[in-house]
Amino acid sequence: MSLKIRVIAPDKVVWDANAEEIILPSSTGQLGILKGHIPLLTALDIGVMRVRLNKEWQPIILLGGFAEVDNNNITILVNGAETISDSNIDILEAQENLEKATILLSEAKTNKEKIEATQNLRKAKAKIQAANVLNN
């Protein structure tokens, strides 16, 4: 038996498939889930979820949320998500976005600007991390 994984964003179901393994970007660090895992509820951070299908890793960028693991079913509710493939990621553009986000964070003055800049920086880092998953 494999893991049944559903990733649900406010506007759509991003992922609904079986997988062999999943690594989640939890708020306390990376969390690996295999079949038979004990029940769990965890907060998710902005980062890359990695799903192993047929011995290949598929990255999905998550923009924070929660995950519930119960009886080999994983339900992930997120603020937003983006599936990544070789065809829709440009590593040079991702690096440029990371540099821009770093500059915006250093120039941020108000708390609101700092929070938005920090989230943009984390999203840019996640995109590069997802590209690295595909290239390995």
Task: Specify whether 64 is located in the same domain as 112.
Answer: no
Q: What is the mean pLDDT of residues 79-90?
A: 72
Q: Is residue 91 over pLDDT 80?
A: no
Number of domains in the chain: 2
Average pLDDT, the chain: 86
For the purposes of burial, counting CB atoms within 10 Å of the CB of 92, is it exposed (0-12), middle (13-18) or buried (19 or more)?
exposed
Full-prediction pTM beyond 0.85?
Answer: no
State residue 92's pLDDT score. Answer: 73
H/E run at residue 34: strand 29-34
The verdict on 71 and 12 lying in the same domain is yes
Shared domain for 77 and 95, answered yes or no, is no
Same domain, 61 and 103: no
Q: Are residues 111 and 47 in the same domain?
A: no
Whether residues 32 and 93 share a domain: the answer is no
> What tens digit of pLDDT does each residue of 12-67 get?
999 999 999 999 999 889 999 999 999 999 999 999 999 998 888 889 999 999 99
- Domain around 20: 3-83
Q: 68 and 36 in one domain?
A: yes
* Nearest one of 4, 1, 124, 15 to 78, comparing CA atoms: 15
Answer yes or no: do 94 and 55 share one domain: no
Residue the block writes with tokens 């009886």: 71
Q: Do residues 95 and 113 share a domain? A: yes
Q: Are residues 13 and 42 in the same domain?
A: yes
CATH number for position 78: 2.60.15.10
